[in-house]
Amino acid sequence: MQDKQDYFEANLDGLRAALCREPRGHRNMLGAIITAPVNDDSLIGVLFTSPDGYFDMCGDSSFSLGAYLVDSGVVQFEDGEQTRKVLVDTVAGQIFLELTSRDSELESVAIGNVPSRYLGTAEIKVDGFGPVTADLGYGGLVYAFVPAKTFGINSLQFTEISGDEQRRVIEAGTAFLAAAKRTDTVNPIELVVLTEETDDPAVSRVSNFYAPGTMGRTPSGTGLSARLAVEHGKGRLEVGQSFSQESALGLQFHGVIDDVVTGEEGELAVIPRLTAKSYLMGISQIVFKEDDVFKDGFSIHG
């Protein structure tokens, strides 16, 4: 799958840019490019795209992929069948999608993600805020987690806070991301997450950032996988226990640790299972004109 991504980037990257960036996309647009699989037991392969490049794994797009497979008819349920499980190849490794239907409608998608690990902590010097201590975790991508209150932010609930408070969240997350990417760690940090405790100890509200001025609208599937690994690594979550993340818009991804495995070098990793519901929202036809000055799209941050 890495070879497929390398080929796509070298020969077809303009298609990624045109579809994910403005004016056809937007700064938070994610994509999934479907390929032939590389494992004999996988249904498909998939390359995950964004306005800024590629992700080895993406939970958001995997949930959406599940909805696409069912609503497009690629995966069909037989009479009386309610659950189908398909294997999918990603750059990060093979995952599974468990698709559950009711009355011929997709009810939920579960992702069996790649082994996820707690990577310890790191001190990150954030401009304007000083040094902060972050928990690091891998869930297909490497994340750094810090409580929002560390940056003087009391709420990440965008449906309840003012426009000025929302901008403070975006500014803090952007500064945190820039500092994290400058920080020398064994596993380079790819995304950062601001966290907030809720009334339910099994639910954490989050804001995740992967590019300047860009906050995820969902709770992040790879982020939740990394968080499950962090919580297990710190002795706060066991196999079979549930833990959910909630986005600034109130959307929730539900997670559970299915198992704990040992890697080739003796490191422990958790096997996350994530569940959410996804919808097919439309079918688009994209047009390209050779003399269009924005044929390859554009990005504006800020």
Averaged pLDDT for residues 104-124: 95
Q: Mean of the pLDDT values across residues 10-20?
A: 96
Q: For residue 95, what pLDDT is reported?
A: 98
Whether a cis peptide bond, with omega within 30° of 0, leads into 23 is yes
- Which pLDDT score is estimated for 168? 97
Mean pLDDT of 228-239: 97
Closest CA to 141 of 216, 59, 61, 239: 59
Q: What is the model's pLDDT at position 266?
A: 82
Q: What is the pLDDT of residue 59?
A: 96
What's the pLDDT tens digit per position in 214-225? 899 999 999 999
Percent of the chain with pLDDT over 70: 100
CA distances in angstroms from 183 to 144, 147, 222, 226, 270, listed in the order given: 11, 18, 21, 19, 25
Distance in angstroms between the alpha carbons of the first and the last residue of the chain: 33
* Residues 48-80: tens digit of each pLDDT: 999 999 999 999 999 999 999 999 999 998 877
Can you say whether the dihedral through the CA atoms of 38, 39, 43, 48 is positive or negative? Answer: negative
pLDDT of 23 strictly over 80 = yes
Using only the alpha carbons of the chain, give its radius of gyration.
19
List all residues 6 or more positions away from 292 whose beta carbon is below 8 Å from its beta carbon: none
pLDDT-derived band of residue 5, with 50, 70 and 90 as boundaries? Answer: very high
- Of 27-36, 50-59, 100-109, 251-260, which gets the smallest average pLDDT? 100-109
Q: Report pTM.
A: 0.94
The rounded mean pLDDT for the chain is 95
Which domains does the chain show, CATH number per domain? 2-112 (3.10.310.10), 117-276 (3.10.310.10)
Rounded mean pLDDT, 22-35: 94
Predicted local confidence at residue 302, as pLDDT: 59
The residue type at 277: K
| Chain segment 152-201, per-residue pLDDT in tens | 999 999 999 999 999 999 999 999 999 999 999 999 999 999 999 999 99
Average pLDDT over residues 235-243: 96
Statement: residue 42 has pLDDT above 70: yes
Q: What's the pLDDT band for 102 if we cut at 50, 70, 90?
A: confident
